[in-house]
Chain A
Amino acid sequence: GQQVMQIPQYQHVQEGEDFTTYCNSSTTLSNIQWYKQRPGGHPVFLIQLVKSGEVKKQKRLTFQFGEAKKNSSLHITATQTTDVGTYFCAGPGGNAGNMLTFGGGTRLMVKP
């Protein structure tokens, strides 16, 4: 079945440093979504990428979708303590692509 993998599993950074998490799928994806889960919270949708090679920015966050639509990345510039949490990528899965297959997530910890 479809597998979605993320690296690294954990990342400690000093506040102000950059952070990147990488997502790889075993199959080609029609789209990829990114979610953020704060400690003790629930996943919150960040963005969806659909086109091959697409790049989207949200303030300090930059999201990329690979040319082959099998990988994606999230880069945070100049991390802040508010960025703390676990970042998940998710691709459509199931019989008709109507559910999400989540990666294992990358837990970001920011030292002030």
Chain B
Amino acid sequence: DTGVSQDPRHKITKRGQNVTFRCDPISEHNRLYWYRQTLGQGPEFLTYFQNEAQLEKSRLLSDRFSAERPKGSFSTLEIQRTEQGDSAMYLCASSLTPKPLEQFFGPGTRLTVL
């Protein structure tokens, strides 16, 4: 399967702990996006990369969140000092430039903060 993959699929953690998620995009896609989705809502943009450069971050993204895409392939999203409000589905998507931009989503990582 050459779709977008994410790991882990589920993560349960205690408040205050750090967590890290991984996303592997479709191999030839140069753009990679992170979204957060809570129950009954649409995906909310967090950040995106073009190759290894992080080009945009949402103003909603607190400084506890950091994302990397060191070699322009896979990406990691780290949340430090997790809070209960961080509980959500974290979705990764990838696309191939130029515009228009159909995005291919991965299965997501469901985070539960106790």
Chains A and B are bound partners:
yes
B45 touches A103 (CB 8 A): no
| Bound CA–CA A92/B45 (angstroms) | 11
* A80 interfacial by beta-carbon distance below 8 Å: no
Contact among B40, B56, B107 for A99, CB-based, below 8 A: B56
Report the nearest A residue to B91, measured CB to CB: A42
How many A residues have CB within 8 A of the partner chain? 29
**Which chain A positions have C-beta within 8 A of B107?**
41-42
Contact B42 A103 (CB under 8 A): yes
Among the stretches A14-22, A44-52, A68-76, the one at the interface with B is A44-52
**A97 is contacted by which of B41, B99, B105 (Cβ under 8 Å)?**
B99
Report whether A100 and B105 are in contact in the complex, using a CB–CB cutoff of 8 Å: no
How far, in whole Å, are A35 and B91 apart by their CA atoms in the complex? 14
How far is A94 from B44 in the complex, measured between Cα atoms in Å? 12
**Are the CB atoms of A102 and B56 closer together than 8 Å?**
no
**B33 partner residues in chain A, CB cutoff 8 A:** 99-100
Collect the chain B residues with CB atoms within 8 Å of residue A44's CB. Answer: 105
Structural contact, B48 and A98, CB atoms closer than 8 A: yes
**Is B48 touching A99 in the complex (CB atoms < 8 A)?**
yes
Contact of B100 among A4, A48, A99 (CB under 8 A): A48
> Which of B45, B93, B106 makes the CB contact (< 8 A) with A101?
B45
Q: How far is the CA of A100 from the CA of B56 in the complex (A)?
A: 12
Which residues on the B side are within 8 Å of A104 (C-beta)? 40-42
Chain B positions within 8 Å of A48 at CB level = 100, 102
Residues of A within 8 Å of B101, CB to CB, are 92, 98, 100
- A95 an interface residue at 8 Å Cβ cutoff? yes
Q: Is A66 an interface residue (CB 8 A)?
A: no
User: Hey, which chain B residues are within 8 Å of A31, CB to CB?
Assistant: 99-100
Quote the shortest CB–CB distance from A97 to chain B (angstroms).
Answer: 7
Within 8 A of A (CB), among B78-107: 91, 93, 99-107
CA distance A1 to B19 in the complex (A): 30
Which of A's residues lie within 8 Å of B, judged by CB? 4, 30-31, 33, 35, 41-45, 48, 50, 88, 90, 92-105, 107
B residues with CB within 8 A of A: 31, 33, 40-45, 48, 50, 55-56, 91, 93, 99-108
